[in-house]
């Protein structure tokens, strides 16, 4: 499955737990973009979705540009995720060597419906063994680095790539596109269109030279 492909048949009425993984040095919008989409859905339709965050430990953590976040749960007491969102950022270069974080991703992947990455969060999924033999994408500046690992069928110039259980997206703002795609796939296009309209996500940036 890839961008624009129909998803598998799913129960559009099922309530799902969406969990956003946090760690020091993550790129802010990688986490906040998906949080806005799923957090809005949880407020709009609490019968369909819950949204929460998780990190290795409780307390404040600092993101790549200084934003400070506090997780709702830790790896030790996190609820099982139906959808796990894994952000990227410069902190991902360190976290690929964090065995506790990689083990958490692997454990969640064993039961979750979807594991999704934003930007260089793809490298965390790759280290967890979730991208082996799969098509995937990441931030344009890290495409060659992902390809050099030799385990992933790297896709260029896509906002997101849907492989069913595992979904990856390009850099930073692409996490919003990814999240709206997942809302459409898991709860139907009408719900996704309502969320998109209500958060007013219709990008029309100026043309820059």
Ramachandran region, residue 200 (left: φ > 0; alpha: ψ -120 to 50; beta: rest):
left
Can you tell me the distance from the alpha carbon of 132 to that of 142, in angstroms, rounded to the nearest whole number? 17
Can you tell me the distance from the alpha carbon of 191 to that of 78, in angstroms, rounded to the nearest whole number? 27
Tokens of 131: 């991208």
Cβ-proximal residues to 151 (8 Å cutoff; 6+ apart), any chain: 126, 131, 132, 133
Q: What are phi and psi of 51, to 5 degrees?
A: -130, 135
The one catalytic residue in 119, 167, 183, 191 is 119
Angle at 63 between CA 138 and CA 156, to 5 degrees: 10
Look up 119 and say whether it is catalytic.
Answer: yes
Residue in this structure with the two tokens 């969640």, named with its chain if needed: 108
Can you tell me the distance from the alpha carbon of 137 to that of 167, in angstroms, rounded to the nearest whole number? 9
Which H or E run contains 52? strand 49-55
Please give the positions annotated as active site.
Answer: 119
């Amino acid at each position: 499955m890839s961008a624009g492909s129909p998803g598998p048949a799913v129960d559009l009425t099922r309530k799902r737990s969406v969990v956003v993984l946090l760690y020091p040095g993550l790129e802010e919008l990688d986490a906040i973009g998906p949080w806005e989409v799923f957090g809005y859905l949880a407020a709009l339709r609490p019968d369909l979705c819950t949204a929460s965050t998780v990190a290795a430990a409780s307390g404040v953590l600092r993101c790549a540009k200084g934003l400070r976040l506090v997780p709702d749960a830790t790896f030790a007491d996190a609820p099982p995720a139906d959808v796990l969102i894994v952000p990227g950022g410069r902190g991902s270069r360190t976290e690929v060597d964090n065995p506790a974080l990689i083990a958490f991703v692997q454990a969640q992947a064993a039961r979750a419906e979807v594991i999704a990455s934003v930007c260089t969060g793809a490298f965390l999924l790759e280290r967890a063994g979730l991208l082996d033999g799969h098509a995937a994408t990441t931030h344009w500046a890290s495409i060659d680095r992902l390809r050099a690992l030799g385990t992933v069928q790297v896709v260029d110039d896509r906002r997101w790539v849907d492989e069913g259980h595992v979904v990856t997206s390009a850099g930073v703002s692409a996490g919003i596109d990814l999240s709206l795609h997942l809302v459409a796939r898991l709860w139907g296009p009408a719900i996704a269109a309502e969320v998109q309209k209500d958060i007013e996500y219709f990008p029309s940036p100026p043309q820059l030279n």
